[in-house]
Amino acid sequence: MERSSVLVDTVKRGELLREVRGPGTLVPKEIRWIAAETSARVERVLIKPGAVVEADTIILELGNPEVDDQLLAANAELTAAQSDLAAKRTELTSRLLDQQAAQAQAKTDYETARMQAESEKAVAEKGIIPAVQYRKSLVVLEQLKYRVDIEQQRVDEFRRNIAAQLAAEQARLDQLANTRDLRQRQVDSLQVRAGIAGILQRVAVEEGQQVAAGSNLARVARPGDLMAELRIAETQAKDIVIGQAAHIDTRNGIVEGKVLRIDPAVQNGTVQVDVELVGDLPAGARPDLSVDGTIELERLVDALYVGRPAFGQADSEVRLFKLDANDVATRVPVQFGRSSVNQIEIRSGLNVGDRIILSDTSAYDQHDRIRLE
Protein backbone atom coordinates (compact mmCIF):
# COMPACT_ATOMS: atom_id res chain seq x y z
CA MET A 1 0.00 0.00 0.00
CA GLU A 2 1.51 3.33 -1.05
CA ARG A 3 2.43 5.63 1.86
CA SER A 4 1.59 8.77 -0.11
CA SER A 5 -2.01 7.69 -0.64
CA VAL A 6 -2.73 6.99 3.01
CA LEU A 7 -3.96 9.43 5.66
CA VAL A 8 -2.41 8.68 9.04
CA ASP A 9 -3.10 10.28 12.44
CA THR A 10 -1.64 9.95 15.92
CA VAL A 11 -3.75 9.27 19.02
CA LYS A 12 -3.71 12.21 21.45
CA ARG A 13 -5.04 13.02 24.90
CA GLY A 14 -6.48 16.40 25.80
CA GLU A 15 -9.49 18.58 25.18
CA LEU A 16 -11.82 17.32 22.46
CA LEU A 17 -14.24 19.86 21.07
CA ARG A 18 -17.34 18.07 19.77
CA GLU A 19 -18.93 19.86 16.85
CA VAL A 20 -21.44 19.26 14.08
CA ARG A 21 -21.37 20.97 10.74
CA GLY A 22 -23.85 21.66 7.97
CA PRO A 23 -24.53 23.94 5.02
CA GLY A 24 -27.11 26.68 5.10
CA THR A 25 -28.16 30.13 3.97
CA LEU A 26 -28.52 33.56 5.50
CA VAL A 27 -32.13 34.66 5.79
CA PRO A 28 -33.75 37.80 7.21
CA LYS A 29 -34.87 37.39 10.79
CA GLU A 30 -38.03 39.34 10.05
CA ILE A 31 -39.87 38.53 6.83
CA ARG A 32 -43.32 39.80 5.98
CA TRP A 33 -45.44 38.19 3.33
CA ILE A 34 -48.13 40.56 2.11
CA ALA A 35 -51.38 38.74 1.32
CA ALA A 36 -54.40 39.91 -0.62
CA GLU A 37 -57.29 40.76 1.71
CA THR A 38 -59.85 40.29 -1.05
CA SER A 39 -59.98 38.85 -4.53
CA ALA A 40 -58.86 41.42 -7.08
CA ARG A 41 -57.03 42.08 -10.33
CA VAL A 42 -53.45 43.34 -10.35
CA GLU A 43 -53.64 46.72 -12.08
CA ARG A 44 -50.06 47.98 -11.62
CA VAL A 45 -46.75 46.83 -10.16
CA LEU A 46 -45.18 50.03 -8.85
CA ILE A 47 -41.99 48.73 -7.16
CA LYS A 48 -39.53 46.10 -8.39
CA PRO A 49 -37.74 43.54 -6.18
CA GLY A 50 -34.53 44.83 -4.62
CA ALA A 51 -35.90 48.31 -3.94
CA VAL A 52 -35.75 49.89 -0.50
CA VAL A 53 -39.25 50.47 0.87
CA GLU A 54 -40.81 52.18 3.87
CA ALA A 55 -43.80 50.85 5.78
CA ASP A 56 -46.27 52.99 3.81
CA THR A 57 -44.67 52.48 0.38
CA ILE A 58 -47.29 51.34 -2.14
CA ILE A 59 -45.97 48.27 -3.99
CA LEU A 60 -49.01 47.21 -6.01
CA GLU A 61 -52.34 48.60 -7.09
CA LEU A 62 -55.24 46.15 -7.23
CA GLY A 63 -58.72 46.64 -8.62
CA ASN A 64 -62.11 45.22 -7.66
CA PRO A 65 -65.25 47.20 -8.60
CA GLU A 66 -67.38 44.96 -6.41
CA VAL A 67 -65.41 45.99 -3.32
CA ASP A 68 -65.91 49.67 -4.19
CA ASP A 69 -69.65 49.09 -4.60
CA GLN A 70 -69.82 47.25 -1.29
CA LEU A 71 -68.20 50.23 0.45
CA LEU A 72 -70.73 52.62 -1.07
CA ALA A 73 -73.58 50.36 0.04
CA ALA A 74 -72.13 50.02 3.54
CA ASN A 75 -71.79 53.81 3.86
CA ALA A 76 -75.40 54.27 2.70
CA GLU A 77 -76.69 51.70 5.20
CA LEU A 78 -74.70 53.27 8.01
CA THR A 79 -75.97 56.77 7.18
CA ALA A 80 -79.57 55.51 7.07
CA ALA A 81 -79.12 53.72 10.40
CA GLN A 82 -77.68 56.88 11.96
CA SER A 83 -80.73 58.83 10.75
CA ASP A 84 -83.07 56.12 12.07
CA LEU A 85 -81.35 56.24 15.45
CA ALA A 86 -81.63 60.02 15.63
CA ALA A 87 -85.32 59.87 14.67
CA LYS A 88 -85.98 57.09 17.19
CA ARG A 89 -84.23 59.05 19.94
CA THR A 90 -86.33 62.15 19.11
CA GLU A 91 -89.56 60.14 19.09
CA LEU A 92 -88.81 58.43 22.38
CA THR A 93 -87.74 61.68 24.00
CA SER A 94 -91.05 63.27 22.97
CA ARG A 95 -93.03 60.37 24.39
CA LEU A 96 -91.01 60.55 27.60
CA LEU A 97 -91.85 64.24 27.90
CA ASP A 98 -95.55 63.35 27.54
CA GLN A 99 -95.21 60.79 30.30
CA GLN A 100 -93.39 63.28 32.51
CA ALA A 101 -96.09 65.87 31.84
CA ALA A 102 -98.76 63.38 32.95
CA GLN A 103 -96.68 62.64 36.03
CA ALA A 104 -96.35 66.36 36.82
CA GLN A 105 -100.12 66.84 36.43
CA ALA A 106 -100.76 63.95 38.78
CA LYS A 107 -98.44 65.48 41.37
CA THR A 108 -100.18 68.85 40.98
CA ASP A 109 -103.61 67.29 41.41
CA TYR A 110 -102.37 65.43 44.47
CA GLU A 111 -100.93 68.56 46.08
CA THR A 112 -104.15 70.48 45.39
CA ALA A 113 -106.23 67.69 46.94
CA ARG A 114 -103.89 67.48 49.94
CA MET A 115 -104.22 71.19 50.66
CA GLN A 116 -108.01 70.93 50.20
CA ALA A 117 -108.18 68.05 52.66
CA GLU A 118 -106.05 69.89 55.22
CA SER A 119 -108.28 72.99 55.04
CA GLU A 120 -111.45 70.90 55.31
CA LYS A 121 -110.10 69.03 58.33
CA ALA A 122 -110.00 72.20 60.43
CA VAL A 123 -113.48 73.39 59.51
CA ALA A 124 -114.93 69.89 59.79
CA GLU A 125 -113.66 69.64 63.35
CA LYS A 126 -115.53 72.89 64.13
CA GLY A 127 -118.68 71.53 62.51
CA ILE A 128 -118.70 74.15 59.79
CA ILE A 129 -118.85 71.47 57.05
CA PRO A 130 -120.19 67.97 57.23
CA ALA A 131 -117.68 65.30 58.26
CA VAL A 132 -118.63 63.20 55.26
CA GLN A 133 -117.36 65.91 52.96
CA TYR A 134 -113.97 65.75 54.64
CA ARG A 135 -113.90 61.95 54.35
CA LYS A 136 -114.67 62.23 50.64
CA SER A 137 -111.70 64.59 50.26
CA LEU A 138 -109.48 62.00 51.97
CA VAL A 139 -110.66 59.31 49.53
CA VAL A 140 -109.89 61.58 46.57
CA LEU A 141 -106.48 62.33 48.09
CA GLU A 142 -105.70 58.61 48.42
CA GLN A 143 -106.73 57.99 44.81
CA LEU A 144 -104.53 60.83 43.59
CA LYS A 145 -101.56 59.49 45.61
CA TYR A 146 -102.04 56.12 43.93
CA ARG A 147 -102.17 57.91 40.57
CA VAL A 148 -98.88 59.70 41.34
CA ASP A 149 -97.26 56.32 42.11
CA ILE A 150 -98.64 54.83 38.90
CA GLU A 151 -97.37 57.75 36.81
CA GLN A 152 -93.92 57.44 38.45
CA GLN A 153 -93.84 53.74 37.57
CA ARG A 154 -94.86 54.55 34.00
CA VAL A 155 -92.04 57.08 33.68
CA ASP A 156 -89.49 54.64 35.16
CA GLU A 157 -90.65 51.80 32.92
CA PHE A 158 -90.61 54.02 29.85
CA ARG A 159 -87.06 55.13 30.66
CA ARG A 160 -86.02 51.47 30.75
CA ASN A 161 -87.88 50.86 27.51
CA ILE A 162 -86.10 53.80 25.91
CA ALA A 163 -82.71 52.45 27.03
CA ALA A 164 -83.48 49.00 25.62
CA GLN A 165 -84.72 50.35 22.27
CA LEU A 166 -81.75 52.72 21.90
CA ALA A 167 -79.32 49.93 22.87
CA ALA A 168 -80.79 47.69 20.16
CA GLU A 169 -80.55 50.48 17.60
CA GLN A 170 -77.00 51.27 18.71
CA ALA A 171 -76.00 47.60 18.40
CA ARG A 172 -77.36 47.57 14.86
CA LEU A 173 -75.51 50.81 14.16
CA ASP A 174 -72.25 49.38 15.56
CA GLN A 175 -72.64 46.27 13.40
CA LEU A 176 -73.14 48.40 10.31
CA ALA A 177 -70.15 50.56 11.31
CA ASN A 178 -67.98 47.43 11.64
CA THR A 179 -69.15 46.29 8.21
CA ARG A 180 -68.37 49.72 6.78
CA ASP A 181 -64.88 49.62 8.40
CA LEU A 182 -64.30 46.16 6.90
CA ARG A 183 -65.31 47.40 3.45
CA GLN A 184 -63.08 50.44 3.91
CA ARG A 185 -60.11 48.24 4.84
CA GLN A 186 -60.77 46.09 1.80
CA VAL A 187 -60.77 49.16 -0.43
CA ASP A 188 -57.63 50.48 1.29
CA SER A 189 -55.97 47.09 0.83
CA LEU A 190 -56.24 47.49 -2.93
CA GLN A 191 -53.30 49.88 -2.43
CA VAL A 192 -50.82 47.20 -1.32
CA ARG A 193 -48.28 48.69 1.11
CA ALA A 194 -45.00 47.25 2.39
CA GLY A 195 -46.04 47.25 6.05
CA ILE A 196 -42.43 47.37 7.32
CA ALA A 197 -39.31 49.25 6.29
CA GLY A 198 -36.83 47.05 4.46
CA ILE A 199 -36.05 45.50 1.08
CA LEU A 200 -38.70 44.27 -1.31
CA GLN A 201 -37.45 40.74 -1.93
CA ARG A 202 -40.13 39.38 -4.18
CA VAL A 203 -43.26 40.31 -6.11
CA ALA A 204 -45.23 37.13 -6.67
CA VAL A 205 -47.80 38.48 -9.15
CA GLU A 206 -47.90 40.18 -12.55
CA GLU A 207 -50.02 42.97 -13.99
CA GLY A 208 -53.36 41.71 -15.20
CA GLN A 209 -53.28 38.64 -12.95
CA GLN A 210 -56.38 37.74 -10.94
CA VAL A 211 -55.60 36.93 -7.29
CA ALA A 212 -57.74 35.29 -4.63
CA ALA A 213 -58.16 36.50 -1.07
CA GLY A 214 -55.25 35.23 1.03
CA SER A 215 -52.86 34.88 -1.93
CA ASN A 216 -49.29 36.01 -1.29
CA LEU A 217 -48.52 39.14 -3.29
CA ALA A 218 -45.05 40.26 -2.19
CA ARG A 219 -42.35 39.67 0.42
CA VAL A 220 -40.51 42.36 2.38
CA ALA A 221 -37.57 41.72 4.72
CA ARG A 222 -35.32 43.70 7.03
CA PRO A 223 -31.90 43.04 5.42
CA GLY A 224 -29.77 44.22 8.33
CA ASP A 225 -31.11 41.64 10.77
CA LEU A 226 -30.05 38.22 9.45
CA MET A 227 -29.86 34.71 10.86
CA ALA A 228 -28.53 31.46 9.47
CA GLU A 229 -30.66 28.45 8.59
CA LEU A 230 -28.46 25.36 8.73
CA ARG A 231 -29.26 21.82 7.56
CA ILE A 232 -27.71 19.28 9.96
CA ALA A 233 -27.76 15.53 9.34
CA GLU A 234 -30.42 13.95 11.53
CA THR A 235 -27.88 11.53 13.01
CA GLN A 236 -25.80 14.48 14.25
CA ALA A 237 -28.63 16.78 15.35
CA LYS A 238 -29.70 14.75 18.39
CA ASP A 239 -27.20 16.48 20.70
CA ILE A 240 -27.98 20.05 19.59
CA VAL A 241 -29.74 22.23 22.16
CA ILE A 242 -30.88 25.84 22.09
CA GLY A 243 -28.20 28.31 23.19
CA GLN A 244 -25.15 26.36 21.99
CA ALA A 245 -22.39 28.42 20.38
CA ALA A 246 -22.06 28.37 16.62
CA HIS A 247 -19.70 29.73 13.95
CA ILE A 248 -21.01 30.74 10.55
CA ASP A 249 -18.55 30.88 7.64
CA THR A 250 -19.74 33.31 4.96
CA ARG A 251 -16.60 32.64 2.86
CA ASN A 252 -15.71 36.27 3.47
CA GLY A 253 -15.35 35.95 7.22
CA ILE A 254 -16.68 34.03 10.22
CA VAL A 255 -19.41 35.41 12.45
CA GLU A 256 -20.31 34.09 15.88
CA GLY A 257 -23.81 32.94 16.76
CA LYS A 258 -25.94 30.74 18.99
CA VAL A 259 -28.64 28.16 18.33
CA LEU A 260 -32.03 29.88 18.30
CA ARG A 261 -34.42 27.14 17.17
CA ILE A 262 -34.39 23.46 16.24
CA ASP A 263 -37.04 22.26 13.84
CA PRO A 264 -38.78 19.18 15.29
CA ALA A 265 -39.35 17.71 11.83
CA VAL A 266 -36.83 15.84 9.67
CA GLN A 267 -36.76 16.64 5.96
CA ASN A 268 -34.66 14.67 3.49
CA GLY A 269 -32.52 13.27 6.29
CA THR A 270 -31.66 16.67 7.78
CA VAL A 271 -32.92 18.92 10.56
CA GLN A 272 -33.16 22.69 10.17
CA VAL A 273 -31.34 24.62 12.89
CA ASP A 274 -31.75 28.40 13.12
CA VAL A 275 -28.71 30.29 14.36
CA GLU A 276 -28.92 33.83 15.69
CA LEU A 277 -25.92 35.92 14.63
CA VAL A 278 -24.41 37.87 17.53
CA GLY A 279 -21.31 39.30 15.88
CA ASP A 280 -20.72 41.90 13.18
CA LEU A 281 -21.58 40.64 9.73
CA PRO A 282 -18.72 40.41 7.21
CA ALA A 283 -18.87 42.49 4.07
CA GLY A 284 -21.11 40.99 1.42
CA ALA A 285 -23.41 39.23 3.87
CA ARG A 286 -26.91 39.37 2.42
CA PRO A 287 -30.11 37.30 2.32
CA ASP A 288 -29.88 33.92 0.52
CA LEU A 289 -26.07 33.85 0.80
CA SER A 290 -24.78 30.25 1.08
CA VAL A 291 -22.84 29.59 4.29
CA ASP A 292 -21.31 26.74 6.28
CA GLY A 293 -22.12 26.46 9.96
CA THR A 294 -20.43 24.70 12.85
CA ILE A 295 -22.19 24.15 16.19
CA GLU A 296 -20.26 23.42 19.39
CA LEU A 297 -21.87 20.53 21.25
CA GLU A 298 -19.53 20.09 24.22
CA ARG A 299 -15.88 20.10 25.34
CA LEU A 300 -14.43 16.83 26.64
CA VAL A 301 -11.65 17.94 29.00
CA ASP A 302 -9.45 14.82 29.23
CA ALA A 303 -10.31 12.69 26.24
CA LEU A 304 -8.35 10.15 24.25
CA TYR A 305 -9.03 10.93 20.62
CA VAL A 306 -7.84 10.67 17.05
CA GLY A 307 -8.79 11.93 13.63
CA ARG A 308 -12.08 10.49 12.46
CA PRO A 309 -11.41 7.52 10.15
CA ALA A 310 -13.43 6.69 7.07
CA PHE A 311 -16.82 5.30 8.07
CA GLY A 312 -16.05 5.96 11.74
CA GLN A 313 -19.29 6.34 13.71
CA ALA A 314 -19.88 7.31 17.34
CA ASP A 315 -20.39 4.54 19.88
CA SER A 316 -19.25 1.81 17.51
CA GLU A 317 -16.56 -0.87 17.45
CA VAL A 318 -14.29 -1.16 14.41
CA ARG A 319 -11.03 -2.84 13.40
CA LEU A 320 -8.38 -0.30 12.37
CA PHE A 321 -4.85 -0.65 11.05
CA LYS A 322 -2.30 0.48 13.66
CA LEU A 323 1.20 1.30 12.38
CA ASP A 324 4.40 0.26 14.10
CA ALA A 325 7.79 1.97 13.78
CA ASN A 326 8.50 0.08 10.53
CA ASP A 327 5.24 1.24 8.87
CA VAL A 328 3.74 -2.21 9.19
CA ALA A 329 0.03 -1.91 9.92
CA THR A 330 -1.76 -4.50 12.05
CA ARG A 331 -5.50 -4.60 12.39
CA VAL A 332 -6.70 -4.00 15.99
CA PRO A 333 -10.18 -3.70 17.53
CA VAL A 334 -11.08 -0.17 18.64
CA GLN A 335 -14.08 1.03 20.62
CA PHE A 336 -15.22 4.56 19.68
CA GLY A 337 -17.11 6.94 21.93
CA ARG A 338 -18.48 10.37 21.12
CA SER A 339 -17.61 11.97 17.81
CA SER A 340 -17.05 15.42 16.37
CA VAL A 341 -16.80 16.69 12.80
CA ASN A 342 -13.19 15.60 12.22
CA GLN A 343 -12.27 13.76 15.43
CA ILE A 344 -13.61 10.89 17.49
CA GLU A 345 -13.19 9.72 21.09
CA ILE A 346 -11.41 6.42 21.79
CA ARG A 347 -12.74 4.34 24.66
CA SER A 348 -10.47 1.30 24.25
CA GLY A 349 -8.04 -0.37 21.89
CA LEU A 350 -5.51 2.47 21.41
CA ASN A 351 -3.11 4.52 23.50
CA VAL A 352 -1.52 7.95 23.27
CA GLY A 353 1.05 8.02 20.49
CA ASP A 354 -0.40 5.14 18.48
CA ARG A 355 -0.62 5.84 14.76
CA ILE A 356 -3.60 4.60 12.79
CA ILE A 357 -4.70 4.69 9.16
CA LEU A 358 -7.72 6.97 8.66
CA SER A 359 -8.15 6.29 4.95
CA ASP A 360 -10.65 3.82 3.53
CA THR A 361 -9.06 0.37 3.79
CA SER A 362 -12.06 -1.68 2.66
CA ALA A 363 -9.95 -3.03 -0.20
CA TYR A 364 -7.82 -4.83 2.43
CA ASP A 365 -10.67 -6.37 4.43
CA GLN A 366 -9.14 -9.82 3.86
CA HIS A 367 -5.80 -8.79 5.37
CA ASP A 368 -4.86 -8.33 9.01
CA ARG A 369 -1.38 -6.90 8.20
CA ILE A 370 -0.22 -4.54 5.47
CA ARG A 371 2.96 -2.61 4.83
CA LEU A 372 3.20 1.00 3.68
CA GLU A 373 5.75 1.38 0.90
- Domain containing 259 equals 1-29+223-373
Domain termination residue (choose one: 163, 188, 213): 188
- Split into its structural domains, the chain has a count of 3
| Rounded average pLDDT over 51-69 | 92
Task: Report whether pLDDT(6) > 90.
Answer: no
- Reported as a pLDDT band with limits 50, 70 and 90, residue 125 is low
Vertex 179: Cα angle to 178 and 184 (nearest 5): 95
Answer whether residue 1 shows pLDDT above 70. Answer: no
Which of 133, 167, 188 is the last residue in one of the domains? 188
The 10s digit of each residue's pLDDT in 191-215 is 999 999 988 989 999 999 999 999 9
What does the pLDDT look like over 112-122, one tens digit per residue?
888 877 777 76
Does residue 340 sit in the same domain as residue 233?
yes
CATH number at residue 241: 2.40.30.170
| DSSP 8-class letter at 360 | -
Lowest-confidence region among 45-49, 134-138, 192-196, 325-329: 134-138
- Work out the average pLDDT over 31-54: 92
Check whether 25 has a pLDDT greater than 90. yes
Looking at the structure, tell me whether residues 47 and 81 fall in a common domain.
no
In this structure, the chain runs to a length of 373
Pairing mode, if any, of strands 254-267 and 270-277? antiparallel
Q: Do residue 91 and residue 172 come from a single domain? A: yes
Question: Tens digits of per-residue pLDDT, 148-167?
Answer: 888 888 888 888 888 888 88
Same domain? For 161 and 280 the reply is no
Instruction: Judge if 228 and 372 occupy the same domain.
Output: yes
Predicted confidence (pLDDT) per residue in 168-185, tens digit = 888 989 999 999 999 998
Is residue 341 domain-shared with residue 293, that is, in the same domain? yes
Residues 102 and 12 in one domain: no
Query: What is the per-residue pLDDT across 282-328, written as a single tens digit (0 to 9) for each?
Result: 888 888 899 999 999 989 989 999 998 988 888 899 999 899 988 88
pLDDT tens digits, one per residue of 74-90: 999 999 989 988 888 88
Report the pLDDT averaged over residues 218-227: 87
CA atoms of 228 and 276, how far apart (whole Å): 7
354 and 261 within one domain: yes
- Identify the pLDDT of residue 306: 93
What pLDDT was estimated at residue 352? 94
pLDDT at 286: 83
- Which CATH number covers residue 50? 2.40.50.100
Q: How far is CA 11 from CA 295, 332, 337, 369, in A?
A: 24, 14, 14, 20
pTM of the model: 0.58
- Helix intervals (H) in the chain: 65-125, 131-188
Q: Are residues 271 and 160 in the same domain?
A: no
Can you tell me the mean pLDDT for 323-340?
A: 90
